[in-house]
Amino acid sequence: MSALVPPLSRRLDGLRSSAIRDLLKLTARADIISLAGGLPDAELMPRDRIAVAADAALSDRSRLQYTESPGWGPLREVLAARESARLGREVPVAEVFVTHGSQQALSLLAEVLLDPGSLVIVEDPAYVGALQVFRAAGARIVAVPLDSEGMRVDVLRELLAGGERPAFVHTVSNFHNPGGVTMSPNRRRELAELADAHGFWVIEDDPYGELWFDRPSPAPVATYSPNVIRLSSVSKILAPTLRVGWMTAPERVCRAVELLKQGADLCGSALTQQIAADLLADTDWLTGHIDSVRAAYGQRAHALVDAVRTRFGDRVTATNAAGGMFVWVDFTDGTDTQALLPQALDAGVAYVPGNAFAVSTDYTASMRLCFTTSDANALREAVDRLAKAHGHV
């Protein structure tokens, strides 16, 4: 008699793998220039400086032990100082919580703030990692569109006036993934005012805020309201392998997250947290390092946008790359980017079709391009290959 197959949880119903992660499996070929991944450039990661910090951490055996669930104390102190400078107010250490990358913070917050069926408002197009978390939590997801100034807060206001009551609003406020836009200062203030007036949380997801090219990012949404929870990490400015993210939130939220984290993984890596603390506290070195990353990414971003606009002309619109890692492209001629993708791969270039980020709009004629892992010449060649593929569809 065959064995009965035990079931899996119903929470998996309707979940799907990230289209971006699946696409990365297809772009490992050396002949493909990939504009698909959301990866920082490994060549710009401070390998030697990380090695020095690792040696220093390993010199003390007592530092190889477990650490506190909210994170290694000295790292939280460094992060509290950085967040205080960013927000223009003192952020107590008790309001800083270290996580295994900012994605874990999203996951833990979903457990703390959501009941099945709770409303979450996201931007459309949306960050795929956030959608995966909110869907797994059984949330009801409603999308608010983006424009050149970020989230359409006027649309959010209409939803609230119509009786919608979100548990939280999620926003990638700086250099949006995938939209490439930044929320304007006025909209940040308006969003914070709505959170205060209606009693919902804002999760301000900010992994790219320090990667500005021409001018610093605006003051965070959290500057204007205590109802804002900020997330960030060292993945984009140092190295993803450290897996050090953090959350800045009211102490009661941090304590609730701590209870769940203890059940999930007890604590993070004391070793990588010590390495991150060493690098983040070395402010003179860090400033020079981030400046070099900004300079490289800025040159690549401008090369990609110029190539797209020159090669395709009025057949596309592309966001201005003022920072971050991504450019969002819309085909004005209605090109189906999902149908175009096989031709593009044959031509030796990869991108992510817009429908991978869709919530309520299909984005059939859109694509996300990442400029961080190729130099300017390779990016121009990638656009030439994309134009060649487009001509065959």
Query: Is cis: bond before 220, omega within 30 of 0?
Result: no
Per-residue model confidence (pLDDT) at position 3 = 78
Query: CA–CA distance from 295 to each of 214, 227, 284, 292 (Å)?
Result: 10, 34, 17, 5
Amino acid letter, 130:
A
pLDDT digits (tens, 9 = 90+) for 124-174: 999 999 999 999 999 999 999 999 999 999 999 999 999 999 999 999 999
pLDDT digits (tens, 9 = 90+) for 177-234: 999 999 999 999 999 999 999 999 999 999 999 999 999 999 999 999 999 999 999 9
Residue that the structure tokens 């990365």 belong to: 24
The DSSP string of 330-348 is EETT---HHHHHHHHHHHT
Per-residue model confidence (pLDDT) at position 391 = 86
Rounded distance between C-alpha atoms, residue 93 and residue 390, angstroms: 53
Beta strands in 70-149 (DSSP E): 96-99, 119-124, 140-147
> How many CA atoms are closer than 13 Å to the CA of 140, on its beta-carbon side?
7
pLDDT digits (tens, 9 = 90+) for 240-290: 999 999 999 999 999 999 999 999 998 999 999 999 999 999 999 999 999
What average pLDDT does this structure show over 85-110? 97
Per-residue model confidence (pLDDT) at position 185 = 98
Rounded distance between C-alpha atoms, residue 265 and residue 37, angstroms: 28
Which residues are within 8 A (CB) of 51 and not within 5 positions of it... i.e. 6 or more apart? none
241 φ, ψ to 5°?
-60, -20
pLDDT digits (tens, 9 = 90+) for 4-42: 777 777 766 666 665 565 666 666 678 899 999 889 999
Query: CA–CA distance from 233 to each of 64, 66, 215, 335 (Å)?
Result: 22, 21, 21, 36
What average pLDDT does this structure show over 43-52? 98
Residue 94 has pLDDT above 90, yes or no: yes
C-alpha gyration radius of the chain: 21
Rounded distance between C-alpha atoms, residue 105 and residue 68, angstroms: 16
Per-residue model confidence (pLDDT) at position 15 = 60
Sheet holding 326-331, edge to edge: 316-318, 326-331, 366-370, 352-353
Q: Residues of the chain with pLDDT > 70: what percent?
A: 94
Query: Whole-number mean pLDDT of the chain?
Result: 94
> What is the dihedral sign for C-alpha 18, 21, 25, 28?
positive
Residue 60 pLDDT grade (very low, low, confident, very high; cuts 50, 70, 90): confident
Residue 105 has pLDDT above 60, yes or no: yes
